[in-house]
Structures are given as structure tokens and as C-alpha cells.
């Protein structure tokens, strides 16, 4: 099992650009419309199903649960991620080895991760093993037993993960930044938790968490592969449909704060690390698409992004710079990260804010606007060819909106964005008086 869970949903720097940024682009850049390209169904217990048929020997399926770190109670920090690990450590009929071997024995693989608002499990396999994959995913979600012996071992694994994460300031600064701007709120917690709390959790704590937070009406089973939809639904009814209905009875605590903080933390690092950021739009705000375009233009994965060209190519003061937009259910975060020599911090910040200010006062010309649209469209189109990447973005879209749209319609939405809309968003988001700053020195 591969682990992506320590990376935040699009804060999420490196992983964001390699995986989640693509998923958010594919699923959230425009309000969805429903098309028969996708088949959907609803089980009696509230679990939704969405499937896209492709003629391929390789298939992908998984389940996305609307439960993550922000759904933890105050004394449960880290339990969502711990639970995801423990799902693979034994069920009522399988030991940990048999769980992991079930797909690998037929050349497939199973994967899982946790973010601030979701937990996901997915499998890739030859399409003839659809039933095997569905049965296994159902087994680990609904029949895990969380053996004490396995909990002791996995605790040490996660504590080692926490320690290794602390050794990577370019990663840990994102966690600390969200803790800075979401003070006292579950959105500010890092996903891994703390050693002190991890050592206290028992199987009863995990069982309580899953029974309260793994709600069937907050689950979407998603599939991309060569199987008749009727047959897929039959498998889902056989396995997922056998579980009792468990509807969500709580509401997430909304974040309604607004802070602008500057903080410097002393670190034994060779270079300084800096994040500049502020609050942004939630999932349902239609202005999120212009902001995605701005983030991609400023410091997306392309080597010709504006800030990369300015800070790296022109001035030579930063090797790595990236702009991230993380939309959540009721809020969002826009930030810019870079690493630089300590004596270049002030220069780098001035360059960044000058560029942000220019976007507030000068509309993009037709050529510039066309270029950034084509770049994002190309990135999405190339990424959408990888079905394992698009699987859970499809599921997430259906989870949030109960609808979905085609790539063609997503491209149409991108092409409809105007220079005036981009300037409006820049003026709303790029107010330097509302920016928070975190520096590792």
C-alpha cells in the first residue's frame, strides 16, 4: 500500500502538483452538469455509485468517504489517519498479510490516503478481478477489527513518519502555516497527529470514530473500467449493500475566523523557507476557477510560470516556488511557498507582492489570457488520460455535487473566464494586509 496521506489536499505542494491539483482541477473548476457518459446508482443504505466505462484491460475502483482530519473531535487528533492505516491490519476473516496480498496476488495494487476532509481507498487491477476488488474494499471499511498487536506496530510506523516529516521543512511548513491561520480549529491540525495522542488510542477509540464518522450517506464508490454497469451494481449491492444504513448526524464546525499573522521560527536549515498566504474561496464558490488559473499562472507545475521565471530564472534566488489553492467545504487557502537563502527573503517577498499587485491593477491581455487557459487545459487533458488519477476526482465531484461533468464541459468553463473576472478575484484575494507569513530561518 502506498501512502499519500501526510500530504494536504492541495496545500499540498509537491503531491498537490503531481496528483491532487489535477484532481481538484478535474472535479472543481466548474459547476457540474450531468451526462450519460457516467452511470450512477444509489444503494438502499445511502452509498452512491458512479462508473465510467472504458475499453481497457486495466480497471480502477475505490471509495471516497467525506471524513478527514477536520471531522476529529478535540481529543481525537490524528485518529482519522491512524484509522486509515489500521483498515489494512486485519478484518473479521483476514489477517494483515491476507489483506495486502488479496490484490497483489493477481498483479493488482491497493492504495489509501487521508486528507483534511476525506479518506480514500482505491485499487487498480485487471478488469476480470472487479468482484475481488469490491469485496476487499468493502471488507476493510466495514469489517476491520483493529487488532491490538497491529495497533502497537502501526503506532511506531506513524511516529517514525512524524519524525521523518519534521526533518523536511519544505513539507512541515505547510502544516504549520495552516495551524497559524486556522488557530484552534480542526482544519489547522496536521494529518499525522501527535505521538502523545497516538499512544493513547485503543481499538474502542477507532471503532467509535468509524461508527460515528464513516457514514454511508457520505460515501461514493467510483469505478473506471470495462464492466457492464448492471454487473457492477450487482457486485456493489452484494457487498456494500449488505451494510446497515448509517446517516450523518453531525455538522462540521465552520471556520469563521480572520487572522493575519507574521511568525518566524528558528530552524537548523541551510536555507530559509517561507509561506505567504491568505483565505480563499470554498468548493461551491464559482470564483474558484479564476483563482485556480491565477495559482497555475503564478507558480504552477510549469517551469515558465511567472514567479518561477522571476525568482529562479531572472534573479536566481529560489530553486523551488509554488502557488497553491486549497478549497474546503466552507473556506479555502491560497498560499505561495518558496525556499531561498536567508539574505534574499526580503527581495523575494517584494518580487512576489509586486506581481500580485500588478494582477490587481492590470487586466491580462488577450494573448496572456489565452496562454494561461491553454496551459491549464493541456495539463488537465494530459492528466485525464491516466484513469487512476481521475478515478477519485470523479468520485469527489459526485460526493460534493451529486453530479459530474465531462472534460469537454470543463474546458468550456475554463475558456469562458474573462480578464475582468481574474482581476476581480485578484483584488479580493491578493490584499497584502490580509496575508499571513510563516518563515523558517
User: Where are the chain's structural domains?
Assistant: 36-170+186-242, 262-440
CATH fold label, 36-170+186-242: Cytochrome Bc1 Complex; Chain A, domain 1 (3.30.830)
Q: What is the mean pLDDT of residues 92-114?
A: 96
Please give the Cα distance from 390 to 37 (Å, whole number). Answer: 14
Please give the Cα distance from 173 to 103 (Å, whole number). Answer: 36
Pairwise pLDDT comparison (242 vs 384), residue with the higher score: 242
Q: Is the pLDDT of residue 18 over 80?
A: no
- DSSP output for 9-75: SSS-HHHIIIIIHHHHHHHHSS-----TTEEEEE-TTS-EEEEEE---SEEEEEEEES--GGGS-GG
What is the average pLDDT value for the chain, to the nearest integer?
90
- The CATH superfamily label for domain 262-440 reads Metalloenzyme, LuxS/M16 peptidase-like (3.30.830.10)
Helix, strand, coil shares of the chain, percent, nearest 5, are 50, 20, 30
Q: What is the mean pLDDT of residues 36-63?
A: 95
Residue 235: band (very low, low, confident or very high) from pLDDT cuts 50, 70, 90: very high
Which residues does residue 50 pair with via DSSP β-bridges, in sequence order?
Answer: 40, 222
Q: Is the pLDDT of residue 14 over 50?
A: no
Domains 36-170+186-242 and 262-440 share a fold: yes
pLDDT digit string, tens, across residues 329-340: 999 999 999 999
Look at residue 406 in the predicted model and tell me its pLDDT.
Answer: 78
The SS3 of residue 435 is: coil
pLDDT digit string, tens, across residues 131-186: 999 999 999 999 999 999 999 999 999 999 999 888 899 999 999 999 999 999 99
Quote the percentage of the chain above a pLDDT of 70.
92
Please give the Cα distance from 10 to 99 (Å, whole number). Answer: 30
Q: Is the pLDDT of residue 31 over 80?
A: no
Please give the Cα distance from 94 to 88 (Å, whole number). Answer: 9
pLDDT digit string, tens, across residues 177-230: 999 999 999 999 999 999 999 999 999 999 999 999 999 999 999 999 999 999
- Count Cα atoms within 13 angstroms, Cβ side, for 361: 7
Q: Is the pLDDT of residue 394 over 60?
A: yes
Q: Which three cell numbers stand for residue 14?
A: 509537491
The pTM for the full model equals: 0.89
Please give the Cα distance from 263 to 441 (Å, whole number). Answer: 11
Residue 36: band (very low, low, confident or very high) from pLDDT cuts 50, 70, 90: low
DSSP summary character for residue 125: E
Q: What is the mean pLDDT of residues 351-371?
A: 96
Amino acid at each position: 500500500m502506498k501512502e499519500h496521506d501526510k500530504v494536504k489536499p492541495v496545500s499540498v505542494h509537491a503531491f498537490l502538483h503531481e496528483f491532487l491539483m489535477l484532481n481538484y482541477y478535474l472535479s472543481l473548476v466548474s459547476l457540474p452538469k450531468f451526462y450519460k457518459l457516467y452511470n450512477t446508482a444509489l444503494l438502499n443504505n445511502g452509498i452512491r455509485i458512479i462508473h465510467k466505462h472504458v475499453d481497457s484491460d486495466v480497471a480502477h475502483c475505490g471509495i471516497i468517504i467525506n471524513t478527514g482530519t477536520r471531522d476529529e473531535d478535540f481529543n481525537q487528533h490524528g485518529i482519522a489517519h491512524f484509522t486509515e492505516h489500521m483498515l489494512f491490519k486485519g478484518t473479521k476473516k483476514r489477517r494483515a498479510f491476507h489483506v495486502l496480498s488479496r490484490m497483489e496476488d493477481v498483479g493488482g495494487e491497493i492504495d489509501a490516503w487521508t486528507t483534511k476532509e476525506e479518506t480514500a481507498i482505491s485499487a487498480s487491477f485487471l478488469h476480470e478481478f472487479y468482484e475481488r476488488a469490491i469485496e476487499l474494499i468493502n471488507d476493510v471499511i466495514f469489517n476491520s477489527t483493529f487488532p491490538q498487536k497491529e495497533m502497537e506496530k502501526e503506532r511506531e510506523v506513524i511516529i517514525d513518519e512524524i519524525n521523518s516529516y519534521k526533518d523536511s521543512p519544505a513539507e512541515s511548513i505547510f502544516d504549520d502555516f495552516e495551524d497559524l491561520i486556522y488557530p484552534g480549529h480542526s482544519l489547522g491540525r496536521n494529518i499525522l497527529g501527535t505521538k502523545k495522542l497516538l499512544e493513547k488510542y485503543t481499538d474502542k477509540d477507532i471503532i467509535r470514530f468509524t461508527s460515528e464518522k464513516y457514514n454511508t450517506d457520505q460515501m461514493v464508490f467510483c469505478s473506471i473500467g470495462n464492466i457492464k454497469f448492471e454487473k457492477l451494481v450487482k457486485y456493489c449491492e452484494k457487498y456494500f449493500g449488505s451494510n446497515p444504513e448509517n446517516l450523518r448526524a453531525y455538522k462540521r464546525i465552520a471556520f469563521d475566523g480572520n487572522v493575519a499573522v507574521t511568525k518566524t521560527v528558528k530552524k537548523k536549515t541551510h536555507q530559509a523557507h517561507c509561506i505567504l498566504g491568505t483565505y480563499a474561496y470554498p468548493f461551491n464558490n464559482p470564483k474558484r476557477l479564476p483563482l485556480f488559473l491565477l495559482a497555475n499562472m503564478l507558480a504552477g507545475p510549469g517551469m515558465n510560470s511567472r514567479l518561477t521565471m522571476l525568482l529562479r530564472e531572472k534573479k536566481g534566488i529560489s530553486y523551488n516556488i509554488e502557488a497553491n489553492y486549497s478549497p474546503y467545504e466552507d473556506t479555502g487557502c491560497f498560499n505561495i511557498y518558496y525556499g531561498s537563502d536567508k539574505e534574499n527573503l526580503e527581495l523575494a517577498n517584494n518580487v512576489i507582492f509586486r506581481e500580485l499587485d500588478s494582477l490587481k491593477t492590470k487586466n491580462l491581455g488577450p494573448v496572456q489570457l489565452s496562454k494561461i487557459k491553454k496551459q491549464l487545459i493541456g495539463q488537465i487533458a494530459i492528466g485525464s488520460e491516466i484513469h487512476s488519477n481521475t478515478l477519485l476526482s470523479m468520485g469527489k465531484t459526485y460526493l460534493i455535487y451529486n453530479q459530474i461533468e465531462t472534460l469537454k464541459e470543463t474546458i468550456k468553463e475554463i475558456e469562458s473566464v474573462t480578464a475582468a473576472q481574474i482581476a476581480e478575484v485578484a483584488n479580493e484575494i491578493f490584499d497584502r494586509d490580509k496575508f499571513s507569513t510563516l518563515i523558517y530561518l
